[in-house]
């Protein structure tokens, strides 16, 4: 199978016009992100074949829809997880799961025992759905989708109806789906918190159209896109633990172009981590500060500058000095930009006041 998903869907749903085109690697989590009502669910249902839209859907080497053919939903090897768990209320957890197994034919999918162990639902196996919490029901729904032997999972805001505690309980399992089971996922959300923790590829939508698509770090670091024009603008970089110092409680995480330091509980070398760098936490200096309480003082190059309102500028930076570093953002006052004599292409030092670590390995 080729390693891409290609979607080009158009249609009119009531008073709503949809015109959605994107291409993405068929791996990890592809997040469709945008405000409520922008057409995300309509696109997902179109990919599944639940909405009959015109256009094309290709998953790897399989064509599910084009101008000459339409594969019905029951013949598409996908798992669909809805916002509500939608379990069969008269069946136990075990029977909900085994019902899905009867429908599948792909022997490469995880077994019943593997799914139960992975989702930590062995103690729930004989319960009825009404005796489960919201988070437990959604884990069972994910298990049922996995046991239908899909080649891809479609997830429509699967944790948006849960409370924060239940959402935080489910997120590690979703990370595990991506990494441990290597299951491609198309994930719908309007919550940037979920995007930052899960997404590898980001598709930005608004008013039925795709604004931009690409890797999470590319979209977040683009100062011309909407995510960069919020007070919460940040870039998430993937890296690996280089070392952990048990005496200081500090971890070193390598990313392209440099090494970040942050306080952390003990972590093993080589563990995959995601680092969140908020634009408001990055200041610039034209000379290296000799003494500072800030742990992360790193060389970088100014790539672009965009004015934001009358008082501020947004600066896109490249970490390191070898031209191969990760890109991230800094928000400065226009006054600071001017008095420091900053300009595009200039080498500077960044002072990063806060680095948030996001665990990227389940378990």
Residue 176: its H or E element: helix 164-179
| Domain limits, the chain | 4-220, 234-359
* Contact indicator for 105, 141 with CB cutoff of 8 Å: no
pLDDT at 55 over 90: yes
Q: What CATH superfamily is the domain 4-220? A: P-loop containing nucleotide triphosphate hydrolases (3.40.50.300)
Count of CB atoms within 10 A of residue 23's CB? 14
- Rounded to whole angstroms, how far apart are CA atoms 235 and 188? 20
pLDDT of residue 206: 94
pLDDT of 360 higher than 80: no
Q: Answer yes or no: is pLDDT of 2 > 80.
A: no
Position 310 pLDDT exceeds 50 = yes
Interatomic CA distance for residues 351 and 88, integer angstroms: 54
| Percent with pLDDT over 90 in the chain | 76
Report, as an integer, the average pLDDT of 83-92: 90
Tell me the per-residue pLDDT of 112-138, one tens digit each, with 9 for 90 and over.
Answer: 999 999 899 999 999 999 999 989 999
Range in 99-103, 276-280, 326-330 the model is least confident about: 99-103
C-beta atoms surrounding 74 within 10 Å? 7
Percentage of the chain exceeding pLDDT 70: 96
pLDDT interval class at 107 (50, 70, 90) = low
The mean per-residue pLDDT over the stretch 2-26 comes to 90
CB proximity list for 248: less than 8 A, separation 6 or greater: none
Is the pLDDT confidence value at 108 over 80? no
Look at the block and give the residue holding tokens 């009404």: 130
The H or E element spanning position 285 is strand 282-285
Predicted pLDDT at 361: 58
Higher pLDDT, 100 or 45: 45
More confident residue, 165 or 107: 165
Per residue in 208-228, pLDDT tens?
Answer: 999 999 999 999 999 999 999
Give the per-residue pLDDT at 162: 87
CB 4 within 8 A of CB 184: no
Confidence of residue 305 (pLDDT cuts 50, 70, 90): very high
Q: What is the pLDDT of residues 229-281, one digit of tens each?
A: 999 999 999 999 999 999 999 999 999 999 999 999 999 999 999 999 999 99
Q: What pLDDT is attached to residue 105?
A: 54
How distant, in Å, are the alpha carbons of 36, 66, 236 from that of 239?
A: 32, 39, 10
Task: State the pTM of this model.
Answer: 0.92
CA distance 77 to 264: 41
Letter string b/e over residues 296-310, b meaning 16 or more CB atoms within 10 A of that residue's CB: bbbbbbbeebeebee
The CATH fold of domain 234-359: OB fold (Dihydrolipoamide Acetyltransferase, E2P) (2.40.50)
- In this prediction, residue 104 carries a pLDDT of 53
The band of 67, judged by pLDDT with boundaries at 50, 70 and 90, is very high
Checking if the pLDDT of 143 tops 90, the result is yes
Does residue 80 have a pLDDT over 90? yes
State residue 181's pLDDT score: 77
Is 50 exceeded by the pLDDT of residue 1?
no
> Which whole number is the average pLDDT over 99-117?
74
Q: Please tell me the predicted confidence (pLDDT) of residue 62.
A: 94
Amino acid 25: pLDDT: 94
pLDDT in tens, 342-354: 999 999 999 999 8
């Amino acid at each position: 199978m080729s390693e891409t998903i290609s979607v080009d869907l158009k249609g009119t749903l009531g008073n709503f016009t949809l015109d959605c085109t994107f291409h993405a690697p068929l791996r990890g989590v592809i997040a469709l992100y945008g405000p409520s009502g922008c057409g995300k669910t309509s696109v997902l249902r179109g990919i599944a074949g639940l909405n009959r839209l015109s256009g094309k859907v290709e998953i790897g080497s399989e064509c599910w829809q084009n101008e000459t053919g339409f594969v019905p939903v029951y013949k598409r090897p996908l798992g669909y997880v809805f916002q509500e768990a939608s379990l069969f209320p008269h069946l136990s957890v075990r029977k909900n799961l085994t019902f899905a197994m009867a429908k599948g034919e792909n022997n490469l999918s995880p077994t019943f025992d593997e799914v139960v162990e992975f989702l930590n639902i062995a103690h729930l196996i004989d319960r009825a759905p009404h005796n489960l919490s919201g988070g437990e029901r959604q884990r069972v729904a994910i298990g049922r989708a996995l046991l239908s032997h899909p080649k891809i999972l479609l997830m429509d805001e699967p944790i948006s109806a849960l409370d924060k505690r239940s959402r935080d309980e489910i997120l590690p399992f979703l990370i595990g789906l991506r990494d441990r089971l290597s299951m491609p996922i198309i994930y719908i959300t309007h919550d940037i918190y979920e995007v930052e923790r899960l997404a590898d590829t980001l598709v930005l939508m608004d008013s039925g159209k795709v604004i931009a698509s690409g890797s999470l770090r590319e979209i977040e670091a683009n100062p011309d896109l909407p995510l960069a024009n919020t007070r919460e603008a940040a870039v998430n970089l993937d890296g690996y633990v280089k070392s952990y110092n048990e005496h200081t409680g500090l971890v070193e995480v390598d990313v392209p172009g440099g090494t970040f330091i942050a306080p952390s509980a003990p972590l093993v070398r080589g563990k995959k981590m995601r680092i969140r760098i908020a634009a408001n936490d990055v200041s610039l200096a034209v000379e290296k500060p000799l003494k500072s309480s800030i742990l992360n003082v790193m060389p970088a190059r100014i790539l672009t500058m965009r004015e934001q309102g009358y008082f501020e500028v947004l600066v896109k930076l490249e970490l390191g000095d070898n031209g191969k570093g990760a890109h991230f953002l800094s928000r400065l006052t226009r006054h600071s930009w001017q008095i420091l004599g900053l300009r595009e292409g200039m080498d500077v030092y960044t002072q990063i006041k806060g680095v948030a670590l996001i665990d990227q390995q389940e378990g």
